Amino acid sequence: MKSLQKSIKQKFLTLLVTGLTLPMMTASLQAAESELSVEEIISKANKVSYYAGDDGRSDARMMIVDKDGNRQLRQFVILRKDIQDEGDQNFLVVFSRPSDVRGTVFLVNKHVDRDDDRWLYLPGLDLEKRISAGDKRTSFVGSDFFYEDVSGRNPALDTHELLEVTDTAYIVKNIPQDKSNVEFAYYIANINKETFLPMTVEYFNEKGEVYRRMDVAEVEEVQGIPTVMKSKISNLETGSVTYMEFRRPVYNIGVPEDVFTSRSLRNPPREWLEAEQE
């Protein structure tokens, strides 16, 4: 155990418009074409958001605030391991607080060529529940985050259009190829030109109205990798907001593949969950 903890410490810290005139828009698009294609921009954004390092670990805390100001805390550890860069990967999320969700485990085997496999273990019911593909865009443990937000949306599920290039950001419109599996008509991402991290994402309904928004509040370099430390999801229809904060992220720690099996639902890998607490 001590050698494992020492190894982790040594490798410490990795662990995720318009208004322009037509001539101006044309100029922006021409500038964008001279730099990167929209596919290259989306690929870089996907990689820096979900594939930093070969694997990673982070403590995380969510604060859910409803329209009346009532607050609920969720605290957990998230582990990740890539099978292939920008390809299949695995996630394990183990909750520690509050007491009514302690021991809840969320396991994702993410695939790029088919639907992800997702399981949720509810200790109070001693129940392993498989999350269907149709449920991936539903609330993650009562928060404003969706299950799909945790492991990321496959870029191949959408078509991408570069709307604008500013001095600091790429503005990209993303349209689902199959609208039957999603609640949005399209979403627009503001992607930082330097880090390629999406800093804001707005989801639009069929009326063209924004009903859901993601904002990044804080980014830090961890082991030379730009890492989101604070973000929030706002549900503009219900008035609720969920704040997410990551602490002590670490990358390239050598998490073994057998951590990400169904065995970990009932028996979470304590040595990997507790290592960062030392």
The percent of residues in the chain predicted with pLDDT above 70, rounded, is 86
User: What pLDDT is attached to residue 93?
Assistant: 96
Q: What is the CATH number of the domain that holds 65?
A: 2.50.20.10
Confidence of residue 275 (pLDDT cuts 50, 70, 90): low
Predicted confidence (pLDDT) per residue in 33-77, tens digit: 448 999 999 999 999 999 999 999 999 999 999 999 999 999 999
Confidence of residue 2 (pLDDT cuts 50, 70, 90): very low
Predicted confidence (pLDDT) per residue in 109-122, tens digit: 999 888 889 999 99
pTM, full prediction: 0.83
Q: Give 86-113 as a 3 state SS string.
A: CCCEEEEEEEEECCCCCCCEEEEEECCC
User: What pLDDT is attached to residue 110?
Assistant: 92
Predicted confidence (pLDDT) per residue in 209-221, tens digit: 999 999 999 999 9
Residue 272 above 60 pLDDT?
A: yes
φ, ψ (nearest 5 deg) of residue 233? -115, 130
Q: Which of 74-83, 132-141, 186-195 shows the lowest mean pLDDT across its residues?
A: 132-141
Distance CA 245, CA 196 (A): 20
> Is residue 80 in a domain?
yes
Q: Which of 72-76, 148-152, 158-162 shows the lowest mean pLDDT across its residues?
A: 148-152
What is the 3-state composition of the chain as percent helix, strand, coil, each rounded to the nearest 5?
25, 40, 35
Arithmetic mean of pLDDT over the chain: 87
User: What pLDDT is attached to residue 31?
Assistant: 43
Nearest to 46 by CA among 196, 149, 174: 196
Q: Are 31 and 266 in contact (CB under 8 A)?
A: no
Distance CA 145, CA 253 (A): 27
Distance CA 15, CA 68 (A): 34
Distance CA 37, CA 219 (A): 25
Domain that holds residue 241: 38-272
Q: Annotate 214-252 with b (16+ C-beta within 10 A) or e (fewer).
A: bbbeebeebbebbbbbebbbbbeeeebbbbbbbeebbbb
Among left, alpha and beta (phi > 0; psi -120 to 50; other), residue 223 is left
Average pLDDT over residues 6-11: 43
Going by the DSSP 8-state scheme, the letter that residue 138 receives in this structure is S
> Is residue 2 in a domain?
no
> Is residue 12 in a domain?
no
Distance CA 136, CA 235 (A): 17
User: What pLDDT is attached to residue 9?
Assistant: 42
Q: Residue 264: count other Cβ atoms within 10 Å of its Cβ.
A: 21
> Is residue 256 in a domain?
yes
Nearest to 80 by CA among 112, 106, 110, 57: 57
221: which 2 tokens?
A: 């370099």
Alpha helices in 178-237 (DSSP H): none
Predicted confidence (pLDDT) per residue in 165-210, tens digit: 999 999 999 999 999 889 999 999 999 999 999 999 999 999 999 9
Total domains present in the chain: 1
Distance CA 178, CA 248 (A): 38
> Is residue 4 in a domain?
no
> Is residue 219 in a domain?
yes
> Is residue 17 in a domain?
no
> Is residue 143 in a domain?
yes
